[in-house]
Structure 1
Amino acid sequence: MNSFYPIILRLNGKKVVVVGGGKVAERKVNGLLGTGADVTVISPEITEAIQKLANEGKIVWQQRTFSEEDVYGAFMIFAATNDRALNQKVKDSADSHQLVTMADNPDESNFHVPAHLQRGRLSISVSTGGASPTLARKIRVQLEQQFNESYEAYLEFLFLKRQWILKEVEDASFKRKLLAAIVSPDFLYSENREQDFKRLYNEQAGTFD
């Protein structure tokens, strides 16, 4: 069995096509929101949620059946209808370099969408390689409890402080010490991270003078 290669993609400005307008397509569309992708849904009918997104201008809905030209120029394609033959037609219409996933045939897809948890800059994905999406979702729920909403602000703090440390601190050993210290539970559960960081910096700076 060939294993999958995990990757996080930047979709900003990329054309993404979702063929289908039911609940499965709705989940795919919702997962694409906020990525900056140019999302087009191809389907004669769509759910109320997809219709709302189209009305708000967040996606484009083309109210018709699929044709081969719909995948031209698409970076990523979701075949998400309840018609197995149509999903296969979508796959067959794509070029070999295009990313295509079929909701009802993961073995013939060249990528899968894992169960996903997002906490600001923290992104955690869980995949069972198509063995059990149910188990992947179950694990994601467990991770949601472990990595709660507090991680969103914490990751933003880590990002900003890492940029500052790399720019302002010259001593390599001091850099490593600070970068290691800010990922400790003390900072995760701190009520005033900025103040705690200043205290840490001042305490440690003296040892590197």
Structure 2
Amino acid sequence: MSKLPVMIDITEKLIVVIGGGKAVERRLNKLSKWTENIVIISPSITAQIKELVASTNIVWKKREFHPLDIENASLVIIATNDVELNRRISHDAPSHAWINAMHDAENGDLEFPIYMQNGHLTIAISTNGASPILAKKIKKDMEEKFNDKYVTYIDFLYEVRQLLKGLSIDPLKKHDYLKEIVENPIYEEEDQLAYLKELKSENK
């Protein structure tokens, strides 16, 4: 079953992770960049996860899973090596919670794609499980194509958009400005500054 690509803000969402192995390490390395509102349920965890717990607000509950652990969770990450336990956790999860089943992706409703992020630019890549190796190759290609110069250009687009929001000019004209600098990109910093200066004069 195909899944809808979305971007979500998890800052204030409770994330419960069941499991403490290498797979959880990789997941936490990603998640901890956006939130520390994470609870790990596992009798044991790896040394790297212990270091992460010690240096962040992530909580480790050193015990077996209980259904009450996920009662208020927004996202449940199932990552144990026990097939029956994984099935039971998925069954016990509240209807409001998203499920990421790391050892059986099809039984979850949320997956974490490979992604590249640089400045305002984020590109998520998924082959829906057909070829993770290809997804990694596409990521590498994207990183080469959308380099730091391109990211600086996106920063410029952001500045223009913010400036236009405050200008008292016709909305259609604002749209024309935004369309123009996408169809005719301005990559050089000197030219960008000159464009911004000219744009500011529109409101005088």
In the superposition, the TM-score normalised over structure 1's length comes to 0.84
Question: Does residue 11 in structure 1 map to residue 10 in structure 2?
Answer: yes
* Gap regions ≥5 residues in structure 2: none
Matched with 2:163 is 164
CA distance in 2, matches of 1:122, 1:75: 26
RMSD of the TM alignment (CA)?
A: 2.6
CA distances 1:66-88 after superposition (whole Å, capped 9, x unpaired): 22221110001111123322222
Matched with 2:86 is 87
CA distance in 1, matches of 2:191, 2:89: 50
* Gap regions ≥5 residues in structure 1: none
Q: CA deviation at 1:95?
A: 1.9
Matched with 1:196 is 194
Q: CA deviation at 1:149?
A: 3.5
* Mean CA deviation greater in 4-13 or 129-138: 129-138
| Matched letter for residue 195 of structure 1 | L
Matched with 2:107 is 108
In the superposition, the TM-score normalised over structure 2's length comes to 0.86
1:28-67 equivalences in 2 (<5 Å): 28-36=27-35, 38-67=37-66
CA distances 1:133-156 after superposition (whole Å, capped 9, x unpaired): 332222222212212244444433
CA distance in 2, matches of 1:163, 1:195: 14
CA distance in 2, matches of 1:193, 1:74: 49
1:122-137 equivalences in 2 (<5 Å): 122-137=121-136
CA distance in 2, matches of 1:148, 1:183: 17
Change beyond 3 A, Cα 1:95–1:198: closer
Matched with 2:177 is 178
Q: CA deviation at 1:37?
A: 5.4
CA distance in 2, matches of 1:192, 1:49: 46
Q: CA deviation at 1:169?
A: 4.3
1:115-154 equivalences in 2 (<5 Å): 115-154=114-153
Calculate percent identity across the aligned residue pairs.
33
Change beyond 3 A, Cα 1:26–1:152: farther
| Matched letter for residue 193 of structure 2 | Q
| Equivalent position SS for 2:99 | strand
Change beyond 3 A, Cα 1:151–1:13: farther
| Matched letter for residue 177 of structure 2 | L
